[in-house]
Amino acid sequence: EAGVAQSPRYKIIEKRQSVAFWCNPISGHATLYWYQQILGQGPKLLIQFQNNGVVDDSQLPKDRFSAERLKGVDSTLKIQPAKLEDSAVYLCASSLSGGGYEQYFGPGTRLTVT
Amino acid sequence: QKEVEQNSGPLSVPEGAIASLNCTYSDRGSQSFFWYRQYSGKSPELIMSIYSNGDKEDGRFTAQLNKASQYVSLLIRDSQPSDSATYLCASLSYNTDKLIFGTGTRLQVFP
């Protein structure tokens, strides 16, 4: 079974530029998550989708971050404009459903904002 | 107060020893608990999940949960150098359906 796919793996941009990340979850997984992991910290949830609806985006900086999951499968996370403090690893995860189901992570995208 | 707390380490153990990793959580509504292993530069990999009080064993790994004490632990028997990584503890709140991670404990297994 294929795991969670993400691209790109690495991205370097200048501040105030925009960037987009893509995620394809494990087949059949209804719930998709985007996390931000800053070096030395645990992942922090940015947004959770159930199928193509948003369940939780309370920690998403909505003035600069946006995310969508059209058709309930792939998802994109966008940052516009980027700030220096956005430098982090952006992780996508999926699970069969919400609740106590186990979450599986993709390889992540390492973003560096200069 | 942090919601999930772990000692950042490093925890150094000799090869073949038992490594004991600990985690406490503050949300009494938490029902599900997970241990992830994260190698440097890689993404978290799920190694154990536990939902009820007591022990759960899977190969060399044993997860222990005590909801009364709000305490979760992970034991790694016969530790190998390949176990050297950061171990993340996470709790899932029944109320918020959100997975909260600790900052991780770095484990070093030396030959």
Tell me how far apart the alpha carbons of residues A22 and A8 are, in angstroms, rounded to a whole number.
7
pLDDT exceeding 90 applies to what percent of chain A? 89
pLDDT at B2: 62
Cβ atoms within 10 Å of B88's Cβ, excluding its own: 27
* Residue B82, phi then psi, degrees to nearest 5: -70, -10
* A100:B43 CB<8 A: no
Per CB-CB distance under 8 Å, the chain B contacts of A44 are 101
List, for chain B, all residue ranges whose pLDDT scores fall below the cut of 70. 1-2
* B49:A102 CB<8 A: yes
Closest chain A C-alpha to B45 CA, distance in angstroms:
7
Q: Parallel, antiparallel, or unpaired for β B4-5 and A65-68?
A: unpaired
Per CB-CB distance under 8 Å, the chain A contacts of B42 are 107
Tell me the residue type at B6: Q
Stretch A72-87: mean pLDDT: 96
Hey, which residues does A99 pair with through a beta bridge? none
Tell me how far apart the alpha carbons of residues A63 and B107 are, in angstroms, rounded to a whole number.
38
* B43:A91 CB<8 A: yes
* B31:A107 CB<8 A: no
Pick from A42, A56, A102: CB nearest B103: A42
Contact indicator for B90, B105 with CB cutoff of 8 Å: no
User: How many Cα atoms within 13 Å fall on the side-chain side of residue B1?
Assistant: 5
pLDDT at A106: 98
Over residues A35-70, the pLDDT tens digits come to 999 999 999 999 999 998 999 999 999 999 999 998
* B97:A42 CB<8 A: no
Q: Check pLDDT > 80 for residue A100.
A: no
* Residue A86, phi then psi, degrees to nearest 5: -80, -5
Over residues A2-20, the pLDDT tens digits come to 899 999 999 999 999 999 9
Per CB-CB distance under 8 Å, the chain B contacts of A49 are none
